[in-house]
Amino acid sequence: MIENGDVSVNGQLVTTLPAWVDPEEDRIVVAGKVIAQPDRKLYIMLNKPPRTLSTAKDEPGADRRTVTELVDHPAAPRLFPVGRLDYDTVGLILLTNDGELANRLTHPRYGVPKTYRVVVKGSLDEEAIKELERGIYLAQRKAGHTQGAVRTAHVEIALVAREREKTTVELTLREGRNRQVRRMLAAVGYPVKKLERVGMGPVKLKGLARGQWRELTRDEIRGLKRAAADQRRSDKPKKETGSSGTSRRRRASAQRERKSPYISPEITGPSGPIRNRTMKNAINKATKPAPDREGSPKKRRDSAE
């Protein structure tokens, strides 16, 4: 099509190959039709204020504020929040148009950590901290019905400040159940007074007042992608090492492959085909000392000579 004169770039006809373009910057027209430019991937951090929905749109007639309404960006209509924060929970929430990365950051398979700063009522004791770290059984709901209780995964807890009437801690979770932090602390007898998300993976909430937003830096974007990718590799199931028939056959096959010697290709010499030799025999023959005149191998010279 280029050689036939059907393609123009930035108003100039292109007829020779190769033809280099930047699809995000150049205006490309093929057979009279403009090729749509791909959407630039955007990654935005918002310091979510209270009484704000973590959705792109509210239910019809509810008329509540959403996180996308706070982002004054030309691409805001195409952005969606990465995960959710409760209506009254504040802090870090990411918005993007990168569906693949958003899935990795929120899916429990990838285990990207989320860090929360929590103020609870009362002086949180060591026994409650250990219980939270071990895991709390919380009711599991599906399709609006309770289906037993499931223990929470390991939680990392760092004590920030402990007073008589309140305690401040930082909790790092690698899963995201509905209202999980509030439910866990309520289960050990310490209701939450204030909850703020302060980190997602390597990205930390810094330098933003409530309701403010900014685009992530290149280093922050790379860090998020590495966090999701690294966790995905570590979550891959290990190969079976049990005594099943399939496992035994795989181990036996691998063992045969390790023991099988390298066979040199058959070569034709002046007197006909030369016998194939294993690499081991070839090395032995090449390094074997040549016999002396009496037919006995030459003795190795002493290093002092």
For residues 77 and 69, the answer to whether their CB atoms sit within 8 Å is: no
For residues 79 and 73, the answer to whether their CB atoms sit within 8 Å is: yes
Which pair of tokens denotes residue 12?
Answer: 């100039």
pLDDT at 154: 86
The packing angle between helices 99-106 and 218-234, to 10°, is: 60
According to DSSP H, which parts of 80-217 are helical? 99-106, 126-134, 180-187
The position carrying tokens 């801690």 is 169
Preceding peptide of 18 cis, ω within 30°? yes
Which pair of tokens denotes residue 33?
Answer: 């039709």
Backbone angles phi, psi at 96, to 5 degrees: -155, 170
266 burial (CB, 10 Å; 0-12 / 13-18 / 19+) is: exposed
For residues 114 and 180, the answer to whether their CB atoms sit within 8 Å is: no
Backbone angles phi, psi at 66, to 5 degrees: -120, 165
Based on the residue annotation, tell me whether 72 is a catalytic residue of this protein.
no
Q: What is the DSSP string of 262-284?
A: PBPPPEEETTEEEPP-BHHHHHH
Single-letter amino acid, residue 185: L
CA angle 227, 229, 233 (to 5 degrees): 115
Task: For residue 190, give every residue at least 6 positions away whose Cβ sits within 8 Å of its Cβ, in sequence order, or none.
Answer: 120, 121, 122, 124, 128, 167
CA 151 to chain centre: 24
The position carrying tokens 């060591």 is 126
pTM recorded for the entire structure: 0.64
- Biggest distance spanned by C-alpha atoms of the chain: 108
pLDDT at 299: 47
Backbone angles phi, psi at 280, to 5 degrees: -65, -45
* Block mean pLDDT (10 aa), the chain, length 305: 93 91 87 84 95 90 90 88 93 95 90 94 92 86 73 90 93 86 92 95 94 95 89 47 52 49 40 45 52 48 40
Domains and CATH numbers, the chain: 1-38 (no CATH), 43-234 (3.30.2350.10)
Local structure of 65: helix, strand or coil: coil
Catalytic residue among 6, 63, 72, 86: 86
